Structure 1
Amino acid sequence: MSTTTTFAAAQLPAAGQPQGITTQELTTNAADYLLWGTALSAAAVVQAAAPHLAGLSFRVAIAGAGVAAFGWHFYRGWRQHERSAQGEAVRLLRLATWVLLAVLPALVPRLGWATVLPLMLFALGTRTFVAGGILQHRVLIFGGAAAWVLGSLALRFQAPADQMILLLASAAAALLLPGALLRSASRR
């Protein structure tokens, strides 16, 4: 009985300390931010150049980024042997954002960009802000807050071209810049 007690006591300190995020999880998160930032930026530029598409560029960009991200994460997850609690939390947050970003562009014909775009910006901001809190990276937290500010501005500027500029700025602040910094952090 004392052996069991000793064994359990020896296990408690190791189990009580959470494992930090792995380098592979940081690399996966960096690639995800860069992929989605590039897809949304390209969709914003195409939508601004051809407004008659009524969100088609977003559906194509999000479907393409979704398939690419699914393949990338499936491949990375298949080869990943150890997972951290932080990495799993960010992975679930990423999945929830993918679902939301897949649904929102489909609402454009019914609700219009004036309603859908601020919702997209708030979703991106929330994802980046929460991931920044989980990973404890200030750049992600500030990027999420910037997306919220730009989402609030999108409520004020309702011209489609203005909103696409705000989406482009938000993708840079909330996705591309944090993705580049996560990539550099994963290489250290």
Structure 2
Amino acid sequence: MQTPATLSSASLPAATRPLAITPQELATNATDYLLWGTAVGAAAVAQAAAPDLRGLSFSVAIAGAGLLAFAFHFYRGWNQGVRSGQGEALRLLRLATWVLLAVLPALVPQLGWATVLPLMLFALGIRTFVAGGILQRRVLIFGGAAAWVFGSLALRFPAPVDQMILLTAAAAAALLLPGATLRTAARA
């Protein structure tokens, strides 16, 4: 006798099984990772090159990426007929990360980069790691762990330029590389 706790998705009838993530949802997630990786990486390079901007590059990059991502996902969601359980979980994870990335740069004047930047890295790591668990993709799991390592290093190197270099490396490991991998998987 099976209890509800021992039921697996393989024992459910086909009509009640959750849908697997669609190629369109994978492509949407890939675009999101690539967009945010480019925005965060470019903002970090601009901030490292001109430290007297006092976070202006981050505010502009995050606001621009947020508006682009919102418009893109609104358009994609409007045209998408079928949604999977995995896709919905990733959509909510994206939304939570956007809110967090929008709020954290506003805290720089009060807390300083030495505190805010490791928080950004940990947030990016959590998002990528959880998405890797949902999609069962090791590159996302390793990318999330890499962001945590870079966040820990950012705590040890409080100089703003050093932290921006770590943020650029974390954007590559936790956003750009997973985005490229998801893009390849969506096309396959």
Tell me if both proteins adopt one fold, taking TM over 0.5 as the criterion. Answer: yes
Report the equivalent of 1:82: 82
Report the equivalent of 1:183: 183
What pairs up with 1:2-151 in 2 under 5 angstroms? 13-151=13-151
Partner Cα distance (1:17, 1:141) in 2: 25
1:134 deviates by 0.5
Stretches of structure 2 lacking an aligned partner (at least 5 in a row): 1-11
Partner Cα distance (1:110, 1:50) in 2: 20
Partner Cα distance (2:107, 2:55) in 1: 9
1:17 deviates by 2.1
Aligned residue for 1:93, secondary structure, equals helix
User: Which letter maps to 1:95?
Assistant: L
User: Which letter maps to 1:138?
Assistant: R
Aligned residue for 1:13, secondary structure, equals coil
1:16 deviates by 3.9
User: Which letter maps to 2:116?
Assistant: V
Report the equivalent of 1:3: none
User: Which letter maps to 1:53?
Assistant: L
1:26 deviates by 0.2
Aligned residue for 1:61, secondary structure, equals helix
User: Which letter maps to 1:122?
Assistant: F
1:164 deviates by 0.3
Partner Cα distance (1:78, 1:17) in 2: 24
How many residue pairs end up in the alignment? 177
Partner Cα distance (2:63, 2:74) in 1: 16
Partner Cα distance (1:81, 1:39) in 2: 29
Please provide the CA RMSD for this pair: 0.8
Partner Cα distance (2:133, 2:17) in 1: 18
Could you give the per-residue CA deviations for residues 123-151 of structure 1, whole angstroms, max 9, x where no partner exists?
00000000000011100000000000100
Could you give the per-residue CA deviations for residues 75-114 of structure 1, whole angstroms, max 9, x where no partner exists?
1001000000000000000000000000000000110000
1:54 deviates by 1.1
User: Which letter maps to 1:109?
Assistant: P
Aligned residue for 1:14, secondary structure, equals coil
